[in-house]
């Protein structure tokens, strides 16, 4: 079900998004296109207006600027009034970004019909960080009462694992963008569509019914590649040059054909919109071997690795912040400059007493095999006491 405005409808002047009471975003005068783009990133709008939003995005017909000075081709430009992001490959202004205010209540000004607001997710992420939570590129679920957080880089197997557990009755918490609380050790997701590939949809019959006809036709082409794949498997020549290239080609094609599917199409009513406690954390890495390895690592090693993952997700913001500091050397934002230290501190608290594992697996992956490899490590264990958590704060 589409959760945005239609292309012909009018959006109200103010639209608010409340992300689990941690951060609030207000759109002022968005076009239907701008609103739809925001919903794809932030999920459903709030039914109640925010008292005071953390981030305000104001849409205007144009952003007039004078005496603009430009930094390179895609790094933006600046005047005495502020720092601006430009449309790629042009000198047309897209947005004014208040880098000195990010992490505090701030206002972004955008030209309307821009689509996705530049840097919105990293800005939300930094605001979340300032409030003692941390944004993780991860999948999150509850399986047999155990809260599982599965993190990693893009195309590393998080969504595949999520679907494997879904087929065994797991409850959905979040996908792609999950907030992890440092103090309460809870994970919270955003209720937005999942983007699935052929490999994933083909293994979920009830998910396949949610895929539109054109995508099913396109997926059929991938099926031809999979037929060659199966034939080669029978001949037992997995290391063969042809097999490896067929894998790469089919994975690259299907990555361009990802289909948006609502979580309810897969999990039905097994959705925890309010989040859940984290019990176990897995980090995924793809490797060239044709086996799945699961090894325990220390919570502190996990915290360090996830810190760099967070830095990577914030890298578009950090890169433009460097350009901002070049333009305004005397202006700085300590929240931006201290993201690594803040992230490590929050993650150390959030992962205290948790079981943490590294999963190495081939890509692409088949989720029944991935589920079978991970499931033995998902049994309930004793949780740390409230006193031990409080001692870290």
Which domain, by its residues, includes 40? 14-130
- Do residue 115 and residue 217 come from a single domain? no
Q: Which residues of 166-195 are buried (b: 16+ CB within 10 A; e: fewer)?
A: beeebbbbbbbbbbbbbebbbbbbbbbbbe
First to last CA, the chain: 42
Residues 143 and 116 in one domain: no
Residues 140, 188 within the same domain: yes
pLDDT tens, position by position, 68-89: 999 876 779 999 889 999 888 7
What pairing do the DSSP bridges indicate for beta strands 194-196 and 259-261?
antiparallel
Please report the pLDDT score of residue 204 as a whole number: 61
DSSP state of 376: G
In tens, the pLDDT along 296-347 reads: 999 999 999 999 999 999 999 999 999 999 999 999 999 999 999 999 999 9
In a domain, 218, yes or no: yes
> Would 26 be classed as within a structural domain?
yes
Whether residue 305 lies inside any domain: the answer is yes
If one compares 327 and 9, the residue with the highest pLDDT of the two is: 327
Give the whole-angstrom CA distance, residue 318 versus residue 39: 24
Angstrom distances, CA of residue 253 to CA of 42, 84, 242, 248, 393: 27, 35, 16, 9, 47
Whether residues 204 and 63 share a domain: the answer is no
DSSP calls for 57-89: EEEES----SS-EE-TTTS-EEETTEEEEE-TT
5 falls within a domain: no
Estimate to the nearest angstrom the gap between the alpha carbon of 134 and the chain centroid: 12
pLDDT of 277: 96
Which residues lie closer than 8 Å to 22 by C-beta, 6 or more apart? 128, 131, 133, 179, 188
pLDDT for 349 beyond 90:
yes
Neighbours of 264 (CB within 10 A): 14
Residues 360 and 274 in one domain: yes
Residue 309: per-residue pLDDT = 96
CA distance 91 to 14: 29
**Is residue 335 classed as helix, strand or coil in its secondary structure?**
helix
Least confident of 68-77, 104-113, 237-246: 237-246
Q: Which residues pair with 295 in a beta bridge?
A: 358
pLDDT at 111: 92
The percent helix, strand, coil of the chain (3-state, each to 5) is: 35, 25, 40
Which of 130, 145, 162 corresponds to the end of one domain?
130
**Residues whose CB is less than 8 angstroms from the CB of residue 264 and which lie 6 or more positions away in sequence, other chains included:** 271
Other Cβ atoms within 10 Å of 217 Cβ, number: 9
The residue among 114, 130, 146 that closes a domain is 130
Q: Confirm whether 123 is domain-assigned.
A: yes
Q: Does some domain include residue 6?
A: no
- pLDDT confidence of residue 234: 44
183 and 270 share a domain? yes
Q: Please tell me what DSSP assigns to residue 271.
A: B
303 and 351 assigned to the same domain: yes
Mean pLDDT of the chain: 82
Please tell me the pTM assigned to this model: 0.81
Q: Is the pLDDT of residue 388 over 90?
A: no
CB 95 within 8 A of CB 85: yes
Please choose, from the candidates 314, 23, 34, 378, the residue with its C-alpha nearest in 3D space to the C-alpha of residue 190: 23
Burial state string for 286-314 with b = 16 or more CB within 10 A and e = fewer than 16: beeeeebebeebebeebbebbbebbeebb
Split into its structural domains, the chain has a count of 3
Strand partners, 151: 138, 283
One domain for residues 162 and 103: no
User: Who wins on pLDDT, 347 or 4?
Assistant: 347
pLDDT beyond 70 at 134: yes
Residue 275 covered by a domain:
yes
Measured in residues, the chain has a length of 393
Q: Is 4 among the domain residues?
A: no
Q: Looking at per-residue confidence, does 261 or 205 come out higher?
A: 261
Q: Look at residue 65 in the predicted model and tell me its pLDDT.
A: 81
Q: Is 270 helix (H, G, I), strand (E, B) or coil?
A: coil
What is the structure's pLDDT at 6? 41
- For residue 159, the model assigns a pLDDT of 87
Looking at residues 46-60, what average pLDDT do you find? 93
| Shared-domain flag, residues 290 and 177 | yes
DSSP conformational letter for 377? G
Is the per-residue pLDDT at 220 higher than 50?
A: no
* Percent residues over pLDDT 70 in the chain: 78
Where does a domain end: 130, 164, 183? 130
Given a cut of 60, is residue 237 above it in pLDDT?
Answer: no
**Do 186 and 287 fall into the same domain?**
yes
Q: Which residue has the higher pLDDT, 49 or 303?
A: 303
């Amino acid at each position: 079900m589409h959760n945005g405005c239609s292309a012909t409808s009018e959006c109200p002047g103010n639209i608010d998004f409340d992300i689990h009471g941690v951060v609030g975003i207000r759109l002022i005068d968005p076009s239907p296109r701008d609103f739809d783009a925001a919903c794809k990133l932030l999920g459903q709008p709030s039914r109640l207006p925010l008292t005071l939003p953390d981030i305000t995005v104001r849409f205007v017909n144009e952003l007039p600027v004078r005496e603009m000075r430009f930094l390179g081709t895609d790094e933006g430009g600046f005047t005495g009034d502020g720092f601006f992001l430009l449309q790629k490959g042009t000198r047309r202004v897209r947005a004014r970004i208040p880098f000195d205010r990010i992490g505090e209540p701030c206002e972004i000004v955008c030209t309307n019909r821009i689509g996705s607001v530049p840097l919105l997710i990293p800005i939300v992420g930094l605001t979340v960080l300032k409030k003692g939570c941390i944004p993780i590129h991860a999948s999150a679920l509850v399986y047999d009462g155990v809260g599982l957080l599965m993190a990693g880089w893009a195309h590393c197997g998080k969504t595949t694992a999520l679907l494997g557990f879904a087929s065994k009755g797991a409850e959905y918490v979040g996908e792609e963008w999950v907030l992890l609380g440092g103090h309460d050790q809870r994970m919270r997701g955003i209720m937005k569509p999942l983007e699935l590939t052929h490999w994933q949809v083909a293994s979920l019959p009830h998910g396949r019914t949610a895929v539109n006809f054109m995508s099913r036709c396109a997926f059929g082409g991938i099926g031809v590649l999979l037929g060659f794949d199966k034939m080669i498997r029978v001949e037992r020549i997995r290391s063969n040059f042809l097999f490896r290239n067929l894998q790469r080609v089919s994975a690259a094609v299907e990555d361009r054909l990802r289909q948006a599917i609502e979580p309810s199409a897969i999990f039905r009513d097994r959705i925890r919109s309010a989040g859940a406690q984290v019990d176990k954390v897995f980090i995924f890495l793809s490797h060239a071997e044709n086996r799945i390895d699961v090894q325990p690592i220390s919570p502190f090693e996990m915290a360090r690795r996830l810190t760099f993952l967070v830095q990577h997700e914030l890298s578009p913001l950090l890169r433009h912040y460097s350009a901002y500091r070049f333009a305004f050397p005397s202006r700085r934002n300590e929240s931006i400059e201290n993201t690594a230290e803040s992230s490590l501190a929050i993650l150390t608290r959030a992962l205290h007493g948790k079981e943490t594992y590294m999963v190495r697996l081939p890509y692409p992956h088949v989720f029944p095999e991935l589920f079978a490899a991970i499931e033995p490590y998902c049994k309930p264990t004793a949780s740390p006491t409230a006193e031990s958590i409080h001692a870290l704060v």
